[in-house]
Amino acid sequence: MVRQKNKEFVLVVPGLTRSQAVDLRDSLQGSVKKIAPFSHSRIEVGRKKNMESIIKRCSKQITTHE
């Protein structure tokens, strides 16, 4: 049976300092490369008020790579 690759993962972590957000981003990027090396991923750091537009932009960029 072939595994279907039709899942997505979204993580929003509020209440971080800029350095905490960057450290978390860097850690996640390393994990993604190790666990799913052929996936197309986007990890963005931004303000809470911009999250909706960041998620839309990332989603659009990922779907154009499929």
52 in any annotated domain: yes
What are the contacts of 20-27 at 24+ separation with CB within 8 A?
21/45
5 in any annotated domain: no
Provide the number of structural domains found in the chain. 1
Better pLDDT: 40 or 66 = 40
27 in any annotated domain: yes
Contacts of 46 (CB under 8 A, 6+ apart): 54
Residue 20 host element (H or E): helix 18-35
What is the token pair recorded at 37?
């090396």
3 in any annotated domain: no
**Domain region containing 36:** 18-65
Average pLDDT over residues 6-15: 81
Q: How many residues would you count in the chain?
A: 66
Question: Is the overall model pTM greater than 0.85, yes or no?
Answer: no
- pLDDT at position 20, please? 94
pLDDT in tens, 24-34: 989 998 898 89
41 burial via Cβ count (<10 Å: 0-12, 13-18, 19+): middle
